Amino acid sequence: MTKEGFKSGFVSIIGRPNVGKSTLLNHVIGQKIAIMSDKPQTTRNRIQGVYTDQQAQIVFLDTPGIHKPKHKLGDFMMKVAQNTLKEVDLILFVVDAKEGFGGGDQFIIDRLEQVKTPVFLVINKIDKIHPDELFELIDLYRTKYDFKEIVPISALEGNNVSTLLEQIKGYLAEGPQFYPADQVTDHPERFIVAELIREKVLQLTREEVPHSIAVAIEQMKERHNETVYIGATIIVERSSQKGIIIGKQGSMLREVGKRARTDIESLLGSKVFLELWVKVQKDWRNKPGQLRDFGFREDEY
Distance CA 166, CA 160 (A): 10
Range list for CATH 3.30.300.20 in the chain: 189-300
Strand order, beta sheet including 56-62: 47-52, 56-62, 7-14, 90-96, 119-124, 149-152
CATH tag for 7-170 (out of 3.40.50.300, 3.40.50.720, 3.60.20.10, 3.90.230.10):
3.40.50.300
Q: Which of 274, 284, 276 is nearest to 214 (CA)?
A: 284
φ and ψ of 20, to 5 deg: 105, 25
Q: Which residues contact 82 (CB under 8 A, 6 or more apart)?
A: 66, 111
Task: Indicate the fold that domain 189-300 takes in CATH.
Answer: GMP Synthetase; Chain A, domain 3 (3.30.300)
Cα atoms found within 13 Å of the Cα of residue 286, Cβ hemisphere only: 6
If DSSP states are collapsed to H, E and C, what string results for 36-55? CCCCCCCCCCCEEEEEECCC
Instruction: Check: CB of residue 198 under 8 Å from CB of residue 217.
Output: no
Taking the C-alpha atoms of residue 61 and residue 68, their distance in angstroms, rounded to an integer, is: 20
d(CA 47, CA 176): 21
Separation in Å, CA 64 to CA 12, 163, 213, 270: 11, 25, 16, 30
pLDDT of residue 63: 66
Rounded to two decimals, the pTM is 0.62
Each residue's pLDDT, cut to its tens digit, for the chain (301 residues) gives 457 789 999 999 888 878 888 889 888 887 665 554 444 444 444 557 889 999 999 988 866 555 555 555 556 656 666 666 777 899 999 999 999 898 889 988 988 888 889 999 999 999 999 999 999 999 999 999 999 999 999 998 999 999 999 999 999 999 988 887 877 776 667 777 888 888 888 888 866 565 667 888 888 787 767 788 888 888 888 888 888 889 899 999 999 999 999 888 877 778 889 999 998 887 666 655 555 555 554 444 3
Whole-number pLDDT of residue 40: 42
How many CB atoms sit inside 10 A of residue 270's CB?
A: 11
Distances, alpha carbon 121 to alpha carbons 78, 126, 148, 221, 233, in Å? 20, 13, 8, 43, 39
Burial (0-12, 13-18, 19+ Cβ within 10 Å), 182: exposed
* pLDDT (0 to 100) of residue 20: 87
pLDDT tens digits, 89-136 = 999 999 999 998 988 899 889 888 888 899 999 999 999 999 999 999
Q: How far apart are CA 22 and CA 29, in angstroms?
A: 11
Type of residue found at 166? E
pLDDT at 207 (0 to 100)? 60
What pLDDT was estimated at residue 148? 96
Domain with CATH 3.40.50.300 in the chain: 7-170
Which pLDDT belongs to residue 44? 43
pLDDT in the model for residue 38: 47
- Distance between CA 120 and CA 118 in Å, rounded? 7
Cα distance between residue 79 and residue 50, in whole Å: 22
